[in-house]
Structure 1
Amino acid sequence: MSIYYIYQDHDRCIGCYACEVHCKTKNELPVGPRLCRIIETEIKLIGGIPRQRFVFMPCFHCEDPWCVKACPTGAMQKRSKDGIVFVEQSLCVGCKSCITACPWGVPQWNPETGKVVKCDYCKDRVDQGLKPACVTKCTTKALRFVTADEASKLKREKFVRVV
């Protein structure tokens, strides 16, 4: 698992899709592939008021990533220093094995390059001490780029506030 995590405060997310837009812009993606996505839950009545949640879905950067195992060329890799899973574009032959292997549907096909793309937490930015594009452009500050330990603490604190 990556030492990093993108934590989402569901109460703050308004489903504006700024995270998706800025991710696509930063990665110069055509129409189609999305490296992160917002999933809209069904509308439910809570206290007589209609409510809907928006769930942010980036790559989970699994501890034992199926996409890495499935890649026959070694293009799908996991960095040992921080656990970020990424595609080495120069090695990708476009076989789509990683797309099939990922249970979350994270790796995406880029029809313009004929290769696979996926969320890599904007590793070029992370290496410079910056946050991923999706996090920096979140208009409501619902997304936070934290360590896995910090994410666990944030979730525990939120649970305590609810109880």
Structure 2
Amino acid sequence: MSDFYLFQDTRKCIGCHACEVQCKANKGLPPGPKPSQIVPVGPKMVGEHPRASFVFMHCFHCEKPWCVDACPTGAMQKREKDGIVFVEADLCVGCKACISACPWGAPQWHRESRKVVKCDFCMDRVDQGLQPACVTVCITHCLSFGESNAMTQVRRQRHARSVAALDDNAF
């Protein structure tokens, strides 16, 4: 597991895709590969009204990443200092073994370069103390990024506030 965690509050996401677009722009990617993407869920009926939600999918930077184990050239790597999983493009031969190995679909094929790309939490930005590009453009502030322990606390606080709001509305 990475030292970092990217959390999405699905109740706030409106599916605008700004995060997805900014990710691609930051990486200079053409149409096609999406290292992070918004996946619509629904619509489904909630009471008498149709509702949809949106899930932000990105690399989970697994503790024991299958993509790293599957890579025959060592192009897919996990940083020791913080657990970020990334692609060393110079070593990638485009065999797509990592794409097949990842159950989450995080590694994506870049047709023009004939190499794999994936979410690396914008590690160049993280190394400068900045947030990943996707987080910086989220207009509803549904994306949060930080150290894993701190983000767990953020999730707990959000849940506690939502439970308290439900209790307040019960009376």
TM class, shorter-chain normalised?
over 0.9
Give TM-score scaled by structure 2 length. 0.91
Deviates more, 1:47-56 or 1:132-141: 47-56
Deviations 1:74-104 (A, max 9, x none): 0000001110000000100000000000000
Match of 2:95 in 1: 95
Query: Is the counterpart of residue 50 in structure 1 residue 11 in structure 2?
Result: no
Measure the CA separation in 1 of the matches of 2:129 and 2:139.
21
Partner of 2:32, secondary structure, is coil
How far apart, CA to CA, are the structure 2 residues paired with 1:62 and 1:73?
19
Correspondence list, 1:77-156, <5 A: 77-156=77-156
Which deviates more from structure 2 when the two are superposed, residues 143-152 or residues 95-104?
143-152
Is 1:61 aligned with 2:61? yes
Q: Report the 3-state secondary structure (helix = DSSP H, G, I; strand = E; otherwise coil) of the residue aligned with 1:10.
A: coil
Give the corresponding residue for 1:31: 31
Q: Which runs of 5+ in 2 are unaligned?
A: 164-171
Report the alpha carbon displacement of residue 34 of structure 1 after superposing the two structures with TM.
Answer: 0.2
Q: Give the Cα separation in 2 of the matches to 1:60 and 1:102.
A: 10
> Which secondary structure state, in structure 2, belongs to the residue aligned with residue 103 of structure 1?
coil
User: How many angstroms apart in 2 are the aligned matches of 1:133 and 1:160?
Assistant: 28
The equivalent residue for 1:12 is 12
Q: In 2, distance between residues paired with 1:49 and 1:31? A: 34
Equivalences, count? 163
AA at the equivalent of 1:57:
M
- RMSD in angstroms over aligned alpha carbons? 1.1
| Partner Cα distance (1:49, 1:149) in 2 | 37
Report the structure number with the largest CA radius of gyration.
2
Distance 2:12 2:86 in 1: 29
| Higher helix fraction (1 or 2) | 2
Report the 3-state secondary structure (helix = DSSP H, G, I; strand = E; otherwise coil) of the residue aligned with 1:43.
strand
Unaligned stretches of 5+ residues in structure 1: none
> How far does residue 11 in structure 1 lie from its aligned partner after superposition?
1.5
Instruction: Name the stretch that deviates more: 153-162 or 140-149.
Output: 153-162
Q: Cα offset for 1:44?
A: 2.2
Matched letter for residue 127 of structure 2: D
Aligned residue in 2 for 1:157:
157
The code of the aligned residue for 1:4 comes to: F
Distance in 2, Cα, partners of 1:148 & 1:77: 20
Secondary structure (helix, strand or coil) at the match of 1:72 reads coil
